[in-house]
């Protein structure tokens, strides 16, 4: 074995030692996100104001459209606009709204939530946190 092969194997082995534990930890059963603010959700006691007349927010005027702002999933359900945590309560992945199915799905482990935040299908067992939404004219206010 020459020096080049030794260095190559050393670097490959070091990379494996660094990456494998973090990959295994991300899918371990012992790691859960209880839905509390763990750096993923915005601080409570504040609010988010969205001007629906601005180009980046006008999609929320259309039924079935959604947007994520500061880890808050905002959805126009047709009957009302709802705001839920965009962080899955199972292991902290970012969820997305699927208007065709009318539900919220986690791409990491397959949890499905309703537009009220309740769990439709696990492995998540805790609902997504819901935030009060009010609208005055074109201004949408989400209270955290």
Given a cut of 80, whether residue 79 has pLDDT beyond it is yes
Residues 18 and 40 occupy one common structural domain: no
pLDDT at 27 over 50: no
Task: Flag whether pLDDT at 36 surpasses 70.
Answer: no
pTM of the model: 0.70
Mean pLDDT of 39-49: 74
Same domain, 40 and 20: no
Residue-level pLDDT at 26: 42
Q: Are residues 62 and 122 in the same domain?
A: yes
Domain co-membership, 17 together with 44: no
Q: Which residues pair with 68 in a beta bridge?
A: 73
The confidence band for 12, taking pLDDT boundaries of 50, 70 and 90, is low
Could you list the residue range(s) of the whole structural domain that residue 25 is in? Answer: 1-31
CB crowding 115-133: b at 16 or more within 10 Å, else e: bebebeeebbebbbbebeb
| CATH number of the domain enclosing 102 | 2.102.10.10
């Amino acid at each position: 074995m020459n020096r080049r092969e030794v260095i190559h194997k050393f670097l490959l082995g070091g990379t494996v030692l660094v990456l494998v534990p973090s990959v295994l930890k991300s899918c371990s059963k012992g790691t859960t996100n209880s839905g509390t603010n763990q750096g993923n959700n915005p601080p409570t006691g504040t609010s988010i104001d969205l001007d629906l007349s601005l180009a980046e927010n006008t999609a929320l005027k259309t039924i079935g459209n959604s947007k994520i702002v500061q880890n808050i999933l905002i959805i126009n359900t047709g009957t009302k606009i709802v705001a839920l945590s965009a962080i899955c309560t199972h292991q902290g992945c970012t969820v997305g709204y699927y208007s065709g199915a009318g539900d919220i799905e986690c791409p990491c482990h397959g949890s499905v939530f309703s537009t009220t935040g309740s769990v439709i299908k696990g492995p998540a067992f805790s609902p997504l946190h819901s935030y009060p939404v009010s609208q005055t004219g074109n201004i949408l206010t989400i209270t955290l």
